[in-house]
Each structure stands twice: as C-alpha cells, then as structure tokens.
C-alpha cells in the first residue's frame, strides 16, 4: 500500500492570509488617520512591546521590524523629531544607544493600540477559527505524528530587505 501524499489545506491557508491582510490594511489606515506612517506605528509598538531581556537598540529593533539598520535609524530619527522617541546611553555600556518612548509617544501609542484592540475583538474569533483549522488539518495529515517543532527549518537572524511602506 502506498501512502497518500500530504496535501496542504489551501482554503484555510488562503483564508488566514486574507484575514492577516485585512487586519494589516486596517492597521495601516488607522495609523495614517492618526497622522503617522504605518512603519512608524510598528516601531513604536516594537519599542513598547519588546520582550523581557532585549534592549531597545537599533539592531534589536531592526530585527524586530525586519528592516535594514539604516532604515530603522531613519524611522527612529523621524519619531525623535515628532517627540515620540528619545535616545539614551545605556548605563552599563555608554557606547550603546537605547531608544525609549517619550510621554507623548506613550500616549499616542496607547490611543492607537486601543483602536486596534477593538478591531481585534471583532476579527479575533475568525483568526482563531482559521488557525485551529490549519493546526488540526496539519496534525491529521502528518503520517508520523510529528509536532510542528520537528518541522522547523533553520532560520537566520539577519533582517530581511524591506519594501518601502513609509
């Protein structure tokens, strides 16, 4: 007996991409309506939401944003000019420059994030449903019962080339 080849759940994958794109479009429009470019909003969020143990350096933020170093510096410069970010020297290594949200940056991000949370409450159940469908279909079609960690490929930690989105 031959095994049936595993087939991806194209409908669920396409639906997930569609839902992600819809949310991203909402986010881009919300940022512009608030008077900021989408990547600037994303950078503010990256600074504020940085995981424990990571310092908000240009290199770390470039990786989190998946941008080149120089593009991240330009975004930081624009946000410093707007009064949303400031640069500080690290206390443990004076050569290291850290980025921090100002009070105005915190206030701006909080308002925009509350707007995003309202949208997520609306679309969140659909995201969950599609993701559960994909996870279940991948488990049921996995002939050896391997979990997703067994399928991880090697990844590099180098920033991707960005497209100019603002």
Q: What is the pTM of this model?
A: 0.78
Q: Above 80 in pLDDT, residue 148?
A: no
- Averaged pLDDT for residues 91-108: 94
Q: What percent of the chain has pLDDT over 90?
A: 69
14-139, CATH topology level: Arc Repressor Mutant, subunit A (1.10.10)
Residues forming beta bridges with residue 97, ordered by sequence position? 89
Residue ranges covered by each domain of the chain:
14-139
Q: Above 80 in pLDDT, residue 27?
A: yes
- Averaged pLDDT for residues 99-123: 96
Q: Cα-Cα-Cα-Cα dihedral of 13, 17, 20, 23, to 10°?
A: -130
Cα–Cα distance measured from residue 122 to residue 111, given in angstroms and rounded to the nearest whole number: 18
Q: Above 50 in pLDDT, residue 79?
A: yes
- Residue 151's pLDDT is 45
Contact between 146 and 52 (Cβ < 8 Å): no
């Amino acid at each position: 007996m031959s095994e049936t080849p595993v087939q991806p759940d194209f409908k669920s994958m396409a639906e997930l991409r569609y839902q992600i794109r819809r949310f991203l479009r909402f986010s881009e429009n919300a940022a512009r309506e608030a008077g900021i470019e989408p990547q600037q909003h994303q950078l503010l969020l990256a600074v504020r939401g940085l995981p424990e143990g990571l310092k908000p350096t240009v290199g770390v933020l470039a990786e989190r944003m998946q941008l080149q170093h120089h593009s991240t510096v330009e975004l930081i410069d624009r946000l410093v000019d707007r009064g949303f970010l400031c640069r500080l020297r690290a206390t443990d290594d004076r050569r290291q420059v850290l980025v921090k949200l100002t009070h105005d940056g915190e206030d701006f991000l909080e308002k925009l994030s509350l707007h995003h949370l309202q949208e997520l409450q609306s679309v969140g159940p659909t995201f969950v449903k599609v993701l559960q469908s994909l996870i279940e279909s991948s488990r049921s079609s996995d002939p050896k019962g391997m979990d997703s960690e067994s399928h991880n490929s090697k990844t590099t930690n180098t920033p991707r080339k960005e497209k100019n989105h603002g």
